[in-house]
Amino acid sequence: MKIKVLGTGCAKCKKLYEEVDKAVKMTGLPAEVEKVEKIEEIMKAGVMMTPALIIDGEVKAAGRVASAAEISSWMTAAAKEKGH
């Protein structure tokens, strides 16, 4: 699964990345986590507010820091959709 954390490097963006890291450890699911800091890339994703979280191409949160528990539930749901 591909997870992208979108943000220009602010404190909230860093916190969201930490929460994603915790969620990956909690679920034990294989995930490729990428930090996207270039404003052009963030705009291409169609996100107007950061921090933002994208799991497998779907924007799950924008303009807020999602909790590790919330992220892990999205990860679990995405894995089920893919039949893992």
What percent of the residues of the chain are helix, what percent strand, and what percent coil, each to the nearest 5? 45, 25, 35
Instruction: Count CB neighbours of 75 within 10 A.
Output: 23
Please report the domains of the chain, with CATH numbers, ordered by start residue. 2-81 (3.40.30.10)
Name the residue with tokens 């052009």.
40
Average pLDDT over residues 51-64: 97
What does the block give as tokens for 19? 């929460």
pLDDT digits (tens, 9 = 90+) for 13-29: 999 999 999 999 999 99
What does the block give as tokens for 76? 């679990």
Q: Which residues have a catalytic role annotated? A: 10, 13
Q: In this model, does residue 70 exceed pLDDT 60? A: yes
Q: What is the DSSP letter of 65?
A: -
**pTM for the complete prediction?**
0.93
Determine the pLDDT at residue 84: 55
Determine the pLDDT at residue 81: 87
Of the candidates 11, 35, 10, 7, the one whose C-alpha atom is nearest the C-alpha of residue 21 is 35
Average pLDDT over residues 48-70: 96
Determine the pLDDT at residue 82: 80
